[in-house]
Structure 1
Amino acid sequence: MDPRALPPRLVIDPTLHPEISVELRSSPHILRMARSGVRVDTTKNPALLFVIPALLMVLAVATGVEELLVPGVGIGLIVLFRWIALDGTYRSTRRRIRSAQVHANRFILPEDLDYPCQRLLRRAQNAVEAIMASRVHRDGLIDTIDNRVSLPEEVWQIAQRLRKLSAMHAEHGKIVPRDLPPGMEDAFKPYTTALDAAWTSLSHRVRHLEKYAKQVVKADKVYHAHRRLEALAAKTPEYQQLIADTVRDELAHERIRELADQAAHVRKLFEESIAQARLAAGELIKTPLA
């Protein structure tokens, strides 16, 4: 399947504390519960399971009926094991839901967006993923805009605006009638134009990201070839000697010169590709969304 056709991934505010971010990212179903308004049911605390065995033991002591003590202890042990199993899950779920509710504006789920906005966000995520996975990025050759910081922030800013645009699209569709009375089209047009302008701006932003990613991928390929050529360059004297020993004199000098020039040529291509990637990154930060 084309990665561009897949739904976008969860987006979390990159400025959120790392521990909270990891917790939110590990439980997308909890985030959906929080987004849907689910409240923690405090009436189902597993500790309430101890009420029955406790009553039996109190009753046994108060009445002196020892036969009630054994069932009370037995039920108490069963309840204890069940409480140990349930209480941890209960507390963890309650804590995670509360955390997700507190930070509800710090994450964006795929279902927060309409389909066109989902596609656009996915394209932005794919572009950033390609950049971050590149060897030229990992080796620090293109980090003109501090990719590890700037790119996650860029995706977050785009996602926030797409969420708002999706909500306004939905609202606009409910308010504006499909069949407008004659002469009323112009009255509604400025609102439609505003939504279209926002969409165009965000699309343009994503295309800048994709252009940057394209240049990075191109630089990566040249960098890979350059590294291979460097390995061969160490053996250049052996190749030159081979040519000198086997090729006619009038051709030997030309072939030796070609070997000497080839490394410089590939190096130049590599430097040009890196420069183009940095130029694309520069264009990306000329008009920051943040």
Structure 2
Amino acid sequence: MDPRALPPRLVIDPSLPPEISVELRSSPHILRMARSGTRLDTTNNPVVLFVLPCFLLLVFMLIGWPGLLVAGMGVSLIVLIRWMALDSSYRTTRRRLRLAQAHADRYLLPEDLDYPCQMLLRRAQNAVEAILNSKVHKAGLIDTIDNQVTLPEEIWQIGQRLRKLSSMHAEHGKLVPRELPPGMEDAFKPYTSALDAAWTSLSQRVRHLEGYAKQVLKADKVYHAHRRLEALATRTPDYQQLIAETVRDELAHERIRELADQAAHVRKLFEESIFQARQAAGELIRTPLT
């Protein structure tokens, strides 16, 4: 499946303390419970209250009091261990559910968005992932902005606006009649135009991110070639000596110059690609969503 067609990943406000962010990210199903208003079921299973006495009565009828005592102790131990495990799991779930409810406005689930907004957010996430996983980023070569801080904030801001746009899309669809009476079209048009303008602006923002990612990936390819060339550059004297020893003098000088020119050319391409990536990042700085 095309990664661009997948739903967006969970988005959490990057300004949250790391320990809270880790807790929220670890249990997406609990975030959905919190979003839907689901409450934990605290009732006991009545089947246990019926089955346990029947089991002990059967043991008593078969082997008498000694067997009943041993069976009772064994069953009690099993029930106690089971209860402790379930109670611990329940308390963990309850704590995480309370945390999710307390920070309900600090995370974004795919179902918070309509389909077009989901696809736009996924495109933005894919672009950011490509940038952060690039070799030139990891090598610290595109340091115009602090990508580790700025890009997650960018995704959060885009997601917040897409959530609001999705909500207003839904409201607009309910309020605006499918068939407008003659002469009423112009009365509704400004509201439709406002939604379209917001969508266009966010789409342009995502295209800026994708443009940045494209330049970073281009720089990555040149960086790879540049690293290989650097390795070869250490052997340049050996290549020059080989040419000088085996090629006629008039050709030797030309081949030696080609070696030096090629190294300079690749370095220039590398520097240009890094410069273009930084320029693309500058577009995000000049028009911050925040």
Normalised TM-score (structure 1):
0.89
Deviation for aligned residue 1:176: 0.5
Q: Deviations over 1:24-51 (max 9, x none)?
A: 1111111111111112345559xxx9xx
Cα distance in 2 for partners of 1:41, 1:256 equals 79
Aligned twin of 1:56: none
Cα distance in 1 for partners of 2:37, 2:143 equals 41
Deviation for aligned residue 1:85: 1.9
Cα distance in 1 for partners of 2:280, 2:75 equals 70
Aligned twin of 2:264: 264
Aligned twin of 2:275: 275
Counting only pairs closer than 5 Å after superposition, residues 85-234 of structure 1 correspond to structure 2 as 85-234=85-234
Equivalent position SS for 1:285: helix
Q: Deviations over 1:200-219 (max 9, x none)?
A: 00000000000000000001
Equivalent position SS for 1:92: helix
Answer with 81-90 or 233-242: which moved more. Answer: 81-90
User: Residue 84 and residue 252 in structure 1: after superposition, are their counterparts in 2 closer, same or farther (change >3 A)?
Assistant: same
CA RMSD, aligned part only? 2.2
Number of residue pairs matched?
274
Runs of 4+ more than 3 Å apart: 40-45, 68-79
Deviation for aligned residue 1:239: 0.6
Partner amino acid, structure 2, of 1:122? R
* Residue segments in structure 1 that go unaligned for 5+ positions in a row: 54-67
* Residue segments in structure 2 that go unaligned for 5+ positions in a row: 54-67
Task: Confirm or deny that 1:20 pairs with 2:20.
Answer: yes
Answer with 227-236 or 79-88: which moved more. Answer: 79-88
Q: Deviations over 1:30-76 (max 9, x none)?
A: 1111111112345559xxx9xx99xxxxxxxxxxxxxx998876664
Cα distance in 2 for partners of 1:125, 1:160 equals 14
Cα distance in 1 for partners of 2:90, 2:122 equals 34
Partner amino acid, structure 2, of 1:180? L
Cα distance in 1 for partners of 2:287, 2:184 equals 36
Identity of aligned residues (%): 83
User: Residue 74 and residue 223 in structure 1: after superposition, are their counterparts in 2 closer, same or farther (change >3 A)?
Assistant: closer
User: Residue 184 and residue 71 in structure 1: after superposition, are their counterparts in 2 closer, same or farther (change >3 A)?
Assistant: same
User: Residue 78 and residue 235 in structure 1: after superposition, are their counterparts in 2 closer, same or farther (change >3 A)?
Assistant: closer
Cα distance in 2 for partners of 1:82, 1:233 equals 67
Deviation for aligned residue 1:80: 1.4
User: Residue 233 and residue 75 in structure 1: after superposition, are their counterparts in 2 closer, same or farther (change >3 A)?
Assistant: closer
User: Residue 124 and residue 223 in structure 1: after superposition, are their counterparts in 2 closer, same or farther (change >3 A)?
Assistant: same
Cα distance in 2 for partners of 1:107, 1:31 equals 8
User: Residue 242 and residue 30 in structure 1: after superposition, are their counterparts in 2 closer, same or farther (change >3 A)?
Assistant: same
